[in-house]
Amino acid sequence: MINKIKFDCKFFKGHIPCKPNKEHNVDCTNCKFYIPVEKKILIIKLGAMGDVIRTTPLLHRFRKMYPNAMISWITQFPDVLPPNIIDNIYKWNETSIFIAQNKEWDIAINLDKEEETCMLLANISAKTKYGFTWAENHIAPATPAAEHKLITGLFDHISKVNKKHYLEEIFEICDLQFQDEPYYLNYDKDLAETWKNRLESLAKGKKVIGLNTGCGERWQTRLWPQEMWLDLINNLHKTGYFPIVLGGKQEDETNKSYAEQTNCYYPGTYSLKEFFAITSACDLIVTQVSMMMHIAIALKKKMVLMNNIFNPNEFYLYGRGVIVEPESGCDCYYGSKCKRERSCMYDISPQTILDKINLLLKLN
């Protein structure tokens, strides 16, 4: 019997019964469901969470190119990845590293530039490797196609004049051309429908504007001042919109204050699963560059994106959003501390944001 087992079958689980066996009581000697794996693909993209989400368009292309591929992904954020598209989602730990190093892959991709992921790619057995590896005791491009992304990450003056967005870059690294492949996001559609109904009941026909008031801890220079958020919320009320303030535990006290001062809706803090669902129920999102940007793109939301410290060419909004930047520019490229006495984010006026909201929603 052992020599009849089709170890290369897409349904083979290794140590437990496969789906055809469980559902149809067949084995490898009489199975009509046998599908040989055509490619074994490994993607290494650990974080940050937003970067993991915005790497998922690669899945569309690989599934189109190799419908019967076995795709595995190693990450620090397995919950955001779609389990119906990826065969094996591994949490970054000693076990996943051991598995990756002891399997043979057709394609292995590392899109992180940390030492540990580069070393992992270098120690993996794969016919083709893309992205960043480890050679001569330092990070190195696995192929010449990765040189551009590596260099722009090393030198600010080169990064500032880069005209390619992130998706162009990662597709080129994999010897592909980006063709507007969308994001994937693992979110609960039933829960999203529940929140849609709840917000429609509260909004009473008004457009729901989700305001993501935080920006994470790493680059506080991205933060829009509180008085600007208050002004925008009040103007949204006057214009006939239904503003809802969003954020995590870090923004909880501030968002409670916004709600008390403006009578806007604040649902409180929730799990990531619930946060996705609430975001999906909004008609438009206003946010600084943050994880929310990637969530909104994945959920195909219209978006007003405030940017100051990053190259705006890095972001691709699929024609559903606009980028607003300080009129005076920004002196803190990828900076965690502002060089001015008064942050350049004060130069983004609430009226400008409101005008962009009106513009985007009138396009419907």
The mean predicted confidence, pLDDT, of the chain is 94
Number of domains making up the chain: 2
Range of the domain at 320: 189-362
Predicted pLDDT of residue 220: 80
285 lies in the same domain as 338: yes
Q: Give the domain CATH number at 326.
A: 3.40.50.2000
Q: How far apart are CA 114 and CA 347, in angstroms?
A: 35
Q: What is the mean pLDDT of residues 178-206?
A: 96
Q: Find the Cα–Cα–Cα–Cα dihedral 353, 355, 360, 364, rounded to 10°.
A: 140
Q: pLDDT tens across 101-156, in order?
A: 999 999 999 999 999 999 999 999 999 999 999 999 999 999 999 999 999 999 99
151 lies in the same domain as 194: no
Q: Give the domain CATH number at 48.
A: 3.40.50.720
Is 287 among the domain residues? yes
Last residue of a domain, one of 173, 206, 225: 173
Q: pLDDT tens across 225-257, in order?
A: 999 999 999 999 999 999 999 999 999 999 999
Q: What is the mean pLDDT of residues 64-77?
A: 97
Predicted pLDDT of residue 332: 86
231 lies in the same domain as 343: yes
Is 113 among the domain residues? yes
Last residue of a domain, one of 173, 207, 236: 173
Predicted pLDDT of residue 333: 85
Is 62 among the domain residues? yes
Is 31 among the domain residues? no
Residue 167 vs residue 330, higher pLDDT: 167
- Contact status, residue 110 vs residue 116, Cβ threshold 8 Å: no
- Contact status, residue 318 vs residue 336, Cβ threshold 8 Å: no
167 lies in the same domain as 197: no
Is 300 among the domain residues? yes
Predicted pLDDT of residue 331: 85
Joined tokens for residue 108 = 């292995």
Residue 350 has φ and ψ, to the nearest 5°, of: -55, -35
162 lies in the same domain as 193: no
Give percent above pLDDT 70 in the chain: 99
Is 128 among the domain residues? yes
Indicate if the pLDDT at residue 363 is higher than 60: no
Residue 44 vs residue 222, higher pLDDT: 44
Last residue of a domain, one of 115, 149, 173: 173
Taking the alpha carbons at both ends of the chain, their separation in whole angstroms is 61
Q: How far apart are CA 82 and CA 336, in angstroms?
A: 33
Q: Which residue type occupies 221?
A: T
167 lies in the same domain as 200: no
Predicted pLDDT of residue 364: 45
Indicate if the pLDDT at residue 258 is higher than 60: yes
Q: pLDDT tens across 15-67, in order?
A: 899 899 999 999 888 899 988 999 999 999 998 999 999 999 999 999 999 99
Cis ω before 203 (30° cut-off from 0): no
Name which of 31-35, 75-79, 312-316, 317-321 the model is least confident about.
31-35
Tell me 46's DSSP state.
-
CA 133 to chain centre: 23
Predicted pLDDT of residue 335: 84
Predicted pLDDT of residue 6: 87
pLDDT band at 189 (very low <50, low <70, confident <90, very high): very high
pTM of the model: 0.93
Q: What is the mean pLDDT of residues 213-226?
A: 85
All residues at 6 or more sequence positions from 19 whose CB lies less than 8 Å from its CB, including other chains: 11, 33
Joined tokens for residue 320 = 């559903």
Name which of 8-17, 128-137, 321-330 the model is least confident about.
8-17
Predicted pLDDT of residue 159: 94
Residue 69 vs residue 335, higher pLDDT: 69
Predicted pLDDT of residue 13: 85
pLDDT band at 219 (very low <50, low <70, confident <90, very high): confident
Strands (E) in the chain, as ranges, are 40-44, 70-75, 88-91, 104-110, 125-135, 138-141, 208-212, 242-246, 284-288, 302-306, 321-324
Predicted pLDDT of residue 216: 75
Is 3 among the domain residues? no
pLDDT band at 336 (very low <50, low <70, confident <90, very high): confident
